[in-house]
Chain A
Amino acid sequence: MSAESASAILKNQVDLLDFVDWSGVECLNQSTSHSLANALKQGYREDEGLNLESDADEQLLIYLPFTQVIKLHSIVIKGTEDEGPKTVKLFTNREHMGFSNVNDFPPSDTAELSPDNLKGSPVVLKYVKFQNVRSLTIFVEDNQSGSDVTKIQKIVLYGTTVETTDMKGLKKIEDH
């Protein structure tokens, strides 16, 4: 998808950060000093110095429950050129996954991040697969250079909520 149409579609999508249920957020294999908050929370994620880093090896498993059902359109993952994530698998509505069962069922979508994506260009997902999302699991399988530590600077999710669709937002669709 071209960058232009991606940004056009983004116009009616909102940042789903407000709908994340913080009490249930989990991240496996994160380093304690560089935790998930650095990549997700407003303010922290804008700070380039604060990253989410992996601990024992390069994989990360992030679990994000939402306070209401959402539709996920696209995702932005920002990271450094060599230690940023490469293969990212997304699973919807699976609670409490572990590293041992990530390969047990197919992901709802897989994204191979290019250096462009790592600079902030959004990855558009298969929208049809993300129509009814209560929770999202992000599995970072490896990173760009194959190093032992994966660093993620920012994660942004774009989409809409199912119940409360902003009517003003819908009007803005021009080319689709």
Chain B
Amino acid sequence: MVLEATMICIDNSEWMRNGDYSPTRFQAQTDAVNLICGAKTQSNPENTVGVMTMAGKGVRVLVTPTSDLGKILACMHGLEVGGECNLAAGIQVAQLALKHRQNKKQQQRIIVFVGSPVKYDKKVLEMIGRKLKKNSVALDIVNFGEEDEGKTEKLEALLAAVNNNDSSHIVHVPTGPNALSDVLISTPIFTGDGEGGSGFAAAAAAAAAGGVSGFDFGVDPNLDPELALALRVSMEEERARQEAAAKKAAEEAAKQEKGGEQQSTSQDATMTENVSAAAPEAENKTSDLMDDENALLQQALAMSMDGPAASLAVRDTDMSEAAADDQDLALALQLSVQDSTKDQGSETDMSKLLADQSFVSSILASLPGVDPNDPSVKDLLASMQSQPEASSDQKKDEDKAPNEEEKK
């Protein structure tokens, strides 16, 4: 996230007509420039990028450093190939353009695309490099296109003269099937010295590779942390739900048949009382729990530790099985499932369990993030014992996670 002003020097000389990079060298260059502009502006919104040509009619600044990506892309449009590239003048004009940047706090950087042969001496280039270093301007060189004898050597010398603490880089892009932009994405030119910009680079790389990106859900936590978090949570919920389904199916298959008819009717009654009921589940639970109370509670608690909605998963499985008997009930249950994320349903039978204050407080104490001495929790307990239904409203206002634990 370095605050930077960048000047990109494009080589639009006659050498760029060559098609050894697809579709032409010039097109490949333009794509790369577009990508770089995007990456820079994304990594820090205050970054500015400017573009200039080194050949054509002469060294010309097309757009002075600006953070407006649209302006930059627009000026890239309609560029023509021709003339000869003037590297020395190009770099010097770039330096001048950076000197007159509006925000003096920005670091100065020049990215130069060298596609044609370099006709300057090594000495001249070294002097230019030293001048850039003196004025603390970093330089990135993209060496592609014509492979002239000594060109690589000269550019390496230029880099050595400019390089201050590894802030400047050179990239040699050989001809081949890979597009210029793809090769550049993985270089420090894009990733900005390896710290920022990785989000954009990674996304671009994923698009280029056409495959799975490095991130879990195809969403970069850097770009969209809330979405990444939501995806992660729902993934955990789903996993917990499936685990619970597997367990419950095994345990309750037998019990379900016995109490099936009876429970569905009682469920009906409680459903009419309270739409967002976890009652059916509660009824189920109480009957089960009478038999195997502690073991199931432990299980449920463990699941709820993993994710606040794990309890929801448990309820879902119970309800789905109970509903097999009754289509209308099934429909009603579906509705309640959707609402039950805010579930605070009545627990007519659960309240018996919860009436045991010491039992509840011991559960609460073992839960992370719940302080049994918290006055709101105490109020909750008191009200739950006296009025299971009225308290459901109260609980809706309370913290969700502790409530869901309590009901178990």
Q: Which A residues touch B131, using CB under 8 A?
A: 56
Least Cβ–Cβ distance between A47 and chain B, in angstroms = 23
Structural contact, A98 and B99, CB atoms closer than 8 A: yes
Q: How far does the alpha carbon of A96 sit from the alpha carbon of B131 in the complex, in Å?
A: 17
Q: Which A residues touch B133, using CB under 8 A?
A: 29, 55-56
Residue of A nearest to B133 (CB): A56
Least Cβ–Cβ distance between A37 and chain B, in angstroms = 15
Q: Mark A89-100, 1 if CB is under 8 A from B, else 0.
A: 000000110111
Q: Residues of A with Cβ closer than 8 Å to B? A: 28-29, 32, 55-57, 59, 95-96, 98-100
Q: Which A residues touch B258, using CB under 8 A?
A: none
Q: How far does the alpha carbon of A96 sit from the alpha carbon of B135 in the complex, in Å?
A: 11
A-B contact count, CB below 8 Å? 28
B294 contacts the other chain (Cβ, under 8 Å)?
no
Given contacts A57-B130, A95-B104, 13 further A-B contacts (CB under 8 A): A28-B135, A28-B136, A29-B135, A29-B136, A32-B164, A55-B133, A55-B134, A55-B164, A56-B131, A96-B104, A98-B99, A100-B99, A100-B135
Q: Residues of B with Cβ closer than 8 Å to A? A: 99, 104, 130-131, 133-136, 161, 164-165
Least Cβ–Cβ distance between B137 and chain A, in angstroms = 10
Least Cβ–Cβ distance between A134 and chain B, in angstroms = 15
Q: How far does the alpha carbon of A81 sit from the alpha carbon of B99 in the complex, in Å?
A: 35
Least Cβ–Cβ distance between A70 and chain B, in angstroms = 22
Structural contact, A56 and B134, CB atoms closer than 8 A: yes
Q: Which B residues touch A55, using CB under 8 A?
A: 133-134, 164
Q: How far does the alpha carbon of A16 sit from the alpha carbon of B5 in the complex, in Å?
A: 33
Structural contact, A28 and B104, CB atoms closer than 8 A: no
Q: How far does the alpha carbon of A98 sit from the alpha carbon of B100 in the complex, in Å?
A: 11
Residue of B nearest to A32 (CB): B165
Residue of B nearest to A27 (CB): B136
Structural contact, A99 and B164, CB atoms closer than 8 A: no
Q: Which B residues touch A99, using CB under 8 A?
A: 134-135
Q: How far does the alpha carbon of A154 sit from the alpha carbon of B63 in the complex, in Å?
A: 43
Least Cβ–Cβ distance between B256 and chain A, in angstroms = 70
Also in contact, A29 and B165, with CB within 8 A (given A96-B104, A98-B99):
no
Structural contact, A56 and B99, CB atoms closer than 8 A: no
Q: Which B residues touch A98, using CB under 8 A?
A: 99, 135
Q: Which A residues touch B136, using CB under 8 A?
A: 28-29
Q: How far does the alpha carbon of A57 sit from the alpha carbon of B165 in the complex, in Å?
A: 16
Least Cβ–Cβ distance between A165 and chain B, in angstroms = 32
Residue of B nearest to A96 (CB): B104
Residue of A nearest to B130 (CB): A56
Q: How far does the alpha carbon of A144 sit from the alpha carbon of B136 in the complex, in Å?
A: 25
Q: Which B residues touch A28, using CB under 8 A?
A: 134-136
Least Cβ–Cβ distance between B40 and chain A, in angstroms = 22
Q: Which A residues touch B135, using CB under 8 A?
A: 28-29, 98-100
7 interchain pairs (CB within 8 A)?
A29-B136, A55-B134, A55-B164, A56-B134, A57-B130, A59-B134, A98-B99
